[in-house]
Amino acid sequence: VPLDELHDPKRTWVLGSDSPEELRAEITRLHAELATYRAALSRPFPVAVLHWPEPELTELLTSYPALATEYPSYEAHTAAIESALRDLAASGIPNLGIVRATVPSYEA
């Protein structure tokens, strides 16, 4: 709900009533809705790094050889994940995680 809408005097006409109780109820509803949006925006977003388990990475590179430049080996892949997570943590980013990748999810 835009802030302008909260303070729009014409909004009371839309309610179809001059009742102060209904107006208070609408104001309370709008404040609750606004608080919900603010709470959702204030939560830190999780940051996840994609991890290919070794069998999945082998299958991926067999099916898509061009990705070998991105994933030269399983060891290089895990080292890149560790490095990325260290860098992100050092920069103060909270809520770090790892997401397990699969070939079917890649192809979906």
The rounded distance, in Å, linking the Cα atoms of 87 and 72 is 21
Query: Between these two residues, 105 and 18, which has the higher pLDDT value?
Result: 105
Residue pLDDT, tens place only, 51-74: 999 999 999 999 999 999 999 999
pTM listed for this prediction: 0.57
Within 1-108, residue ranges assigned H as helices are 3-6, 11-14, 20-42, 54-63, 74-90, 103-107
Give me the residue spans of the domains in the chain.
Answer: 3-42, 47-107
